[in-house]
Amino acid sequence: MDRFRSTASALACLLALADCAPLPQQEAHRQAKSNSEEWLLHDQRFEDNAVLVGTVTKVIDGDTIDVLLSSGPIRVRFSSSDAPERDQRWGSEATAALSSRIAGQQVTLVPVAQDRYDRLVAFVYLQDEDLNAWMVRQGHAWAYREYLEDEWYCSWEANARDARRGLWLPEQAPAYAPWEWRAPKQAFTGYRGETVANCLATAGKRPSQLLASTAPGSLPPPQRPASGCLIKGNISKNGRIYHMPRSASYDSTIIDESKGERWFCTEQQAVAAGWRAPQ
């Protein structure tokens, strides 16, 4: 990993030479050192890496932003965190949470690497707060196992899960890991019983290796109708109820068309056919 950090630091200097000198944020971190292993680790990021300062011009999703540096614009991928994709449950909520936090704000970037999409992978700070960690702590993102740079992220994810924050609420809704959602051949792991120890044990492993690891349980793949209509028309003891994408019961609702259940393209279509919204 040191090779990637060196590459990232060199890239940072090339992008903005003026930003490679020690910054006030770095000095503040040096002065704010505590005996906490967590803070010492974060302080080490500033000690070991060149940093960049810029303004957030756009929030792409829950783990990607556009930043304007003095040398020009750059796209930044958050290190160690992985937010739900925009077509996943909680994807839009994660994006909105990050946008409300940093849109238009000045941020400090601690580079880690450059990914295959030419994005700068970095820890993103708003003043002295690690925003990558904030997203995980609030339940808006996962600890990104394959590219985990900070072991504390496993603990923060566990805390959010135990507290049922963000994507971890409600408890019965399946929480599909973003890296599994993006995979060409989808298979889903049940992460609600995940432990910190298992998260740490799977750090650095590719998605295909994670599926064969000790991660507990499994989930059925989400239904994706050929028609492209995504509203689920379910029939239960409570009547005919439709569920919108990203709603609380959407992922756990399975449509069985042989029983008269249907897919709808619009809410108006569902209501006209005799379905109602959940109460």
Gap between the terminal Cα atoms of the chain: 51
Q: Tell me if residue 119 is catalytic.
A: yes
Residue found by looking up tokens 């750059």 in the block: 74
- d(CA 46, CA 175) in angstroms, rounded, equals 34
Q: Is 176 helix (H, G, I), strand (E, B) or coil?
A: coil
- Active-site residue among 45, 77, 137, 262? 77
Q: Which amino acid is at 66?
A: D
- Active-site residue among 45, 85, 157, 161? 85
For residues 54 and 120, is the Cβ–Cβ distance under 8 A? no
For residues 136 and 157, is the Cβ–Cβ distance under 8 A? yes
For residues 150 and 39, is the Cβ–Cβ distance under 8 A? no
Q: Count, in order, helices (H) and strands (E) of the chain.
A: 10, 11
Helix %, strand %, coil % for the chain, to 5? Answer: 35, 20, 40
- Taking every pair of Cα atoms in the chain, the longest distance, rounded to a whole number of angstroms, is 67
- Active-site residue among 89, 119, 145, 161? 119
Q: Tell me if residue 171 is catalytic.
A: no
- The DSSP letter of residue 148 is -
- d(CA 263, CA 270) in angstroms, rounded, equals 8
Q: Tell me if residue 30 is catalytic.
A: no
Active site residues: 77, 85, 119
